[in-house]
Structure 1
Amino acid sequence: MRALMQDWSLTLDKIFDHAARWHGDREVVTRSVEGPITRSDYATLHRRAKQVSHGLLEMGIGPGDRVATMGWNSDRHLEVWYGAVGIGAVLHTLNPRLFPEQIVYIANHAQDTVLFADPACAALLAELLPQCPTIKRVIFLSEAAPEASFPAEAYEAWLSGRPADAAWGGFDENSAAGLCYTSGTTGNPKGVLYGHRSNYLHAMMTLQPDALNLSARDAVLLIVPMYHANAWGVMYSAPLVGAKLVLPGQKLDAAALHELIETEGVTYSAAVPTIWQMLLAHLKETKGKLTTLQRVTVGGSACPESIIRTLHDDFGVDVIQGWGMTETSPLATVSTPKRPGLSFEDSVPRKLKQGRIVGNLDLKLVDDAGARLPHDGRTFGRLMIKGPTVASGYYGAPHGSALDDEGFFDTGDVATIDADGDMQITDRAKDVIKSGGEWISSIDVENIAVGHPKAALCAVLGVVHPKWDERPILLVQLKPGQAAGKQEFLDYLDGRIARWWMPDDVVFVDEIPLGPTGKIDKKLLRTRLTGYELPFDPNLKR
């Protein structure tokens, strides 16, 4: 027996239609590429997105065609986003911070047809476009096109005068909507092809109180780039509830972000840990305040305890740690407490974990043979995930090729899950340190070490050891003007980690490199350590 309910397909055009109709006057604020702060609203952006659709249709762009963007968070980028998905085209966000050869591979693999780009990308595009034959047209997201060695147009001139009556929707909700590539730390980047239904469901899942808990009462500063897995899904969830959007453009220094937070009454924001470290350093130096910010989501890599405590103790801001990946749309777990009435001190151990699974998803831990492992908070295992917002395969690969026999996707992470369902990433499978048959979590040691008052960034790597197979070493990038010795950091760690987890060496480096998504680039660190020899004491007991 079929239910007697209306047939209402979950396509993303309905999200922006809803935002324009019911939250049309809600502000969208952008630090523009021209410099000044600009103000618009959902109704205006909806009309302009329809004009984008008209222009794309005039080019011959249709369902399934890839429309590429290369830019930071702005109102124009948002217009192109919805203008493309509204007519069934596939919005493909290119990350300008990837290596050029990776961008060329991605654009050619995706067979992008038209590219909308920020003017700051002009020099990069001059290098890339001769190697990307499928891109036939470039439109700069600006009032005037910068000088370029290739034919290009200015967005405002291209958009001007177009009708705003392009038809949206009318296609299957399982149609492709977006294409985002992994950062390709091993091998070529892989394409994750999102669907209208999966992104719509993800938006509703993130709005849950135990997830991002967004509402029309929020002003959202979206720091996480739109080219990072749909800006963690907020490009859909914020318009769905009519939250005010504050888009910082390319200016992501601490002073500029602090200005937007205070002048725009920001209540919620999302970014990787390095952004919050930078902002806290700025606030300390300038004696700045956070008068409206209530909560932030930290993701991309594990959040150090020092950030959680400083934001809470000094500014009254609640830190919500989230975990996910490109293949999970991306939000999958959130560190909201399950038990009511916890004090802040009691909640900190849970906030340091990646949290509980969002509704409609499922997790499991398995050993190397694929057998399920217990959720006791102690047993390490490979983290597997399943659900309607999780990839079944990669673009260009067979459907279902990334799944096990039960339909679970292997995240590549090693984790524990406790009895309350709180999941904690202990390492990437390729980074886990195996010492004497036991596992050491490099992430745990890093997060404690970076709490040292002289540390700017810390990384832990496993190094081959003649007796224990591997031992950890700690790499430290000191804050400017600071000096420290090896023993100072070992003394700091003493009593905070298990004795046998203690690094065998502390190496001070000028820089700990970050990848394009803000994560520590351990592959590059290992390359830089070529020739390093681990101090070895055969009498030392662990």
Structure 2
Amino acid sequence: MITSTMMDDLPLTVTQLFRHGSRVHAEREVVTWLGDASRRVTFAETADRTQRLAAGLASLGVQPGDVVGTFMWNNQEHVEAYFAVPCMGAVLHTLNIRLSADQLDYVIRDGGDRVILVDGSLIGLLAQAGDALRTVEHVVVVGEGDVSLLDRPVIRYDDLLRDPPSGFAWPHVEESAASMLCHTSGTTGSPKGVAYSHRSQWTHAMGAAAGGLHVSEGDRSLIVVPQFHANAWGLIYICWAMGSDILQPGPFLQPEPLVRFIEAEQPNFSAAVPTVWNGVLQLGRQTDIDLSSLQRVVVGGAAVPRSMVLAFDIDHGVKIVQGWGMTEMSPLGTLSIPPASAADDPETQANWRAKTGRLVPGVELRIVDGGIEQPWDGQSVGEVQVRGPWIARRYHNVDDPEKFTEDGWLRTGDVGLVEPNGFMQVVDRTKDVIKSGGEWISSVDLENAIIGHPEVVEATVIGIPDDKWTERPLACVVLTPHAFTTPSDLQQYLADKVAKWWIPERWTFIEEVPKTSVGKYDKKLLRAQHREGSLAIQGPADG
């Protein structure tokens, strides 16, 4: 009988990832886009600045367990904070710059932030947090900005790094200790905090890398997904540990400046929400753009239309990989990398890449309907529930028994099915499924079909009341400039793409689909606009 092992119990921490990348990949670069040029530092230089930041924060009284907030774009300084704060034993709190003033006030209070690092260009937004800022002991400003808006003394980031010596001695940190705090986007109430452990960030980085991201030494990774959103999908830690250059777009997230950054720095990998890449795709249809350096792009946060996957492959030679997860999952759960047996033609590849994705190692998943676990047969549908080493089992400061099962699974709120080979397909969110005449309509599948029309830029679908069928889909569509497409045209287009009874009778053409703070379609707002009667609907009168 063997009752113990001979293996080292070295904690799995962010500090271990930091030390590895600093020494093994010292010459790789962190590159920040300034709009017309780049500034760059090596990993070794970043590591030195990171240690100086930790020493500077310690001089302000920050101790292990204290919370340090960031209100920042994706840039070099944000990378430094990603390592300095957790490695010194404190907790990094990434504040969403797109929250409402009330939500921001709530999140700062809920986190108990002692210090906040803020980009100078975002001072005005941070100032709207109001009374919550009075509980923050120090505000550190990165770059230039109107500090008078804060009506309080501030510390300049460069000054904080100027005096402390390099070579900060990292304390011993247990892998179970909190490393980061990230709040959900608050689309269904107040944002909820998820406190990530060092172990969760370490295992997530390794699991995501092994599960198909394939980021490695020599890659150049453009991280468009915000660092305030689900830890930038773990990519800061993954790229640092694996030796990929980290390309940061700063505030330049619109299609034109983003494409200029791509053309200038030649990334071969990137990650962002679908709305970002849809904008790039539309720009490419209006003018010549060069995406030839990009080999693969991870798209997550919302379902990726098959038409987008196919267009990027055929028009630009870019392979889209869909990722699925959520803040509570650190966030990665699946990646839509086609199996080795799949044919290599664009149509077949697009079919696989438009799926929600295959489970990555470390994530366990089950489909539950009516309290009964369903088989992985590609047909049985139910709520998607997950568990694993980087998946939350409770919220910070909030009890939510409806979100977590008694036997330790996270209820994702997604409805889906799983094929025998572990590929999952989300068919809808539980709150977005449309039940018409007793039958379910998948808003995700219907949206993806509509957006495949060549004159449709964006499309989303919500359920609205109907006298006969209880509920019917309302299609909210954004058309290309100067398009003359009618509801009848779109209904004919859908005739051979979805079930006949799925096709909407009611349509509304809008200038833009409203977005949430993390770039997802805001269906809650569209439902409110419908109730208020502010949407111009073409079709039968409402029931």
TM-score band by shorter chain is: over 0.9
Q: Secondary structure at the match of 2:297?
A: strand
Task: Say if 1:28 and 1:246, in contact at 8 Å, map to a contact too.
Answer: yes
Q: Would you say how many aligned residue pairs link Structure 1 and Structure 2?
A: 535
Does 1:7 find its partner at 2:25?
A: no
What's the offset of the Cα at 1:60?
1.4
Task: Say if 1:268 and 1:294, in contact at 8 Å, map to a contact too.
Answer: yes
Task: Say if 1:20 and 1:46, in contact at 8 Å, map to a contact too.
Answer: yes
Q: Secondary structure at the match of 1:506?
A: strand
What's the offset of the Cα at 1:376?
2.3
Report the counterpart of residue 157 of structure 2 in structure 1.
155
Structure 2: distance between partners of 1:417 and 1:291: 34
Deviates more, 1:391-400 or 1:327-336: 391-400
Report the counterpart of residue 110 of structure 1 in structure 2.
111
Structure 2: distance between partners of 1:95 and 1:371: 37
Task: Say if 1:143 and 1:154, in contact at 8 Å, map to a contact too.
Answer: no
Report the counterpart of residue 285 of structure 1 in structure 2.
286
Structure 2: distance between partners of 1:58 and 1:145: 25
Task: Say if 2:357 and 2:423, in contact at 8 Å, map to a contact too.
Answer: yes
Task: Say if 1:394 and 1:402, in contact at 8 Å, map to a contact too.
Answer: no
What's the offset of the Cα at 1:220?
0.1
Task: Say if 2:105 and 2:131, in contact at 8 Å, map to a contact too.
Answer: no
Map 1:109-148 onto structure 2 (within 5 A).
109-142=110-143, 146-148=147-149
Task: Say if 1:122 and 1:146, in contact at 8 Å, map to a contact too.
Answer: yes
Report the counterpart of residue 209 of structure 2 in structure 1.
207
Structure 2: distance between partners of 1:537 and 1:41: 62
Q: Which amino acid aligns with 2:332?
A: L
What's the offset of the Cα at 1:36?
4.5
Does 1:225 find its partner at 2:217?
A: no
Structure 2: distance between partners of 1:339 and 1:432: 33
Q: Secondary structure at the match of 1:291?
A: coil
Map 1:133-282 onto structure 2 (within 5 A).
133-142=134-143, 146-148=147-149, 149-208=151-210, 210-282=211-283
Residue identity over aligned pairs, in percent, reads: 39
What's the offset of the Cα at 1:88?
0.9
Report the counterpart of residue 312 of structure 2 in structure 1.
311
Report the counterpart of residue 450 of structure 1 in structure 2.
451
Report the counterpart of residue 430 of structure 2 in structure 1.
429
Task: Say if 1:51 and 1:166, in contact at 8 Å, map to a contact too.
Answer: yes
Task: Say if 1:68 and 1:92, in contact at 8 Å, map to a contact too.
Answer: yes
Report the counterpart of residue 378 of structure 2 in structure 1.
377
Within the candidate set 342, 350, 353, 1:351 is matched to 353
Structure 1: distance between partners of 2:6 and 2:278: 53
What's the offset of the Cα at 1:402?
4.2
Report the counterpart of residue 55 of structure 1 in structure 2.
56
Task: Say if 1:32 and 1:74, in contact at 8 Å, map to a contact too.
Answer: no
Q: Which amino acid aligns with 1:221?
A: L
Report the counterpart of residue 365 of structure 2 in structure 1.
363
Deviates more, 1:145-154 or 1:429-438: 145-154
Q: Give deviations 1:252-272, integer Å, cap 9, x for gaps.
A: 122222122222220000001
Deviates more, 1:334-343 or 1:247-256: 334-343
Structure 1: distance between partners of 2:236 and 2:261: 18
Task: Say if 2:413 and 2:429, in contact at 8 Å, map to a contact too.
Answer: yes
What's the offset of the Cα at 1:74?
0.5
Structure 1: distance between partners of 2:342 and 2:466: 46
What's the offset of the Cα at 1:534?
9.2
Report the counterpart of residue 322 of structure 1 in structure 2.
323
What's the offset of the Cα at 1:243?
0.4
Q: Which amino acid aligns with 2:164?
A: R
What's the offset of the Cα at 1:398?
5.4
Assess, with a 3 A threshold, how the Cα gap between structure 1 residues 151 and 450 changes in structure 2: closer, same or farther: same
Q: Give deviations 1:260-287, integer Å, cap 9, x for gaps.
A: 2222220000001111111122222221
What's the offset of the Cα at 1:50?
0.5
Q: Which amino acid aligns with 1:358?
A: V
Q: Secondary structure at the match of 1:511?
A: coil
Within the candidate set 27, 30, 34, 1:28 is matched to 30
- The TM-score normalised by the length of structure 1 is 0.95
Q: Give deviations 1:193-242, integer Å, cap 9, x for gaps.
A: 1000001000001112x421110121000000000111000011000011
Structure 1 unmatched ranges of 5 or more = none
Q: Give deviations 1:344-377, integer Å, cap 9, x for gaps.
A: 322322211111111011111111x321122222
Q: Give deviations 1:422-448, integer Å, cap 9, x for gaps.
A: 111111111111112221110111111
Report the counterpart of residue 508 of structure 1 in structure 2.
509
Report the counterpart of residue 73 of structure 1 in structure 2.
74
Assess, with a 3 A threshold, how the Cα gap between structure 1 residues 264 and 386 changes in structure 2: closer, same or farther: same
Structure 1: distance between partners of 2:26 and 2:130: 38
Structure 2: distance between partners of 1:375 and 1:500: 27
Q: Give deviations 1:312-366, integer Å, cap 9, x for gaps.
A: 1111111100000000000110101234242232232221111111101111111
Map 1:79-118 onto structure 2 (within 5 A).
79-118=80-119
Structure 1: distance between partners of 2:286 and 2:481: 13
Task: Say if 1:178 and 1:193, in contact at 8 Å, map to a contact too.
Answer: yes
Q: Secondary structure at the match of 2:129?
A: helix
Structure 2: distance between partners of 1:349 and 1:507: 29
Task: Say if 2:366 and 2:373, in contact at 8 Å, map to a contact too.
Answer: yes
Assess, with a 3 A threshold, how the Cα gap between structure 1 residues 484 and 399 changes in structure 2: closer, same or farther: closer
Report the counterpart of residue 390 of structure 1 in structure 2.
391
What's the offset of the Cα at 1:192?
0.5
Assess, with a 3 A threshold, how the Cα gap between structure 1 residues 216 and 504 changes in structure 2: closer, same or farther: same
CA RMSD of aligned residues (A): 1.9
Map 1:379-528 onto structure 2 (within 5 A).
379-397=380-398, 402-528=403-529
Task: Say if 1:350 and 1:422, in contact at 8 Å, map to a contact too.
Answer: no
Q: Which amino acid aligns with 2:354?
A: L
Greater relative contact order, per chain length (Cα 8 Å cut-off, separation 6+): 2
Q: Which amino acid aligns with 1:346?
A: T
- The TM-score normalised by the length of structure 2 is 0.95
Structure 2 unmatched ranges of 5 or more = none
Task: Say if 2:73 and 2:251, in contact at 8 Å, map to a contact too.
Answer: yes
Structure 2: distance between partners of 1:486 and 1:281: 22
Q: Which amino acid aligns with 1:18?
A: H
Task: Say if 2:487 and 2:538, in contact at 8 Å, map to a contact too.
Answer: no
Q: Which amino acid aligns with 1:198?
A: S
What's the offset of the Cα at 1:399?
9.9
Q: Which amino acid aligns with 2:64?
A: P
Q: Which amino acid aligns with 1:345?
A: E
Task: Say if 1:19 and 1:242, in contact at 8 Å, map to a contact too.
Answer: yes
What's the offset of the Cα at 1:166?
1.8
Task: Say if 2:477 and 2:508, in contact at 8 Å, map to a contact too.
Answer: yes
What's the offset of the Cα at 1:7?
2.5
Report the counterpart of residue 341 of structure 2 in structure 1.
340
Q: Which amino acid aligns with 1:310?
A: A
Q: Secondary structure at the match of 2:65?
A: coil
What's the offset of the Cα at 1:154?
1.8
Structure 2: distance between partners of 1:433 and 1:144: 47
Task: Say if 2:121 and 2:144, in contact at 8 Å, map to a contact too.
Answer: no
What's the offset of the Cα at 1:535?
5.4
Report the counterpart of residue 45 of structure 1 in structure 2.
46
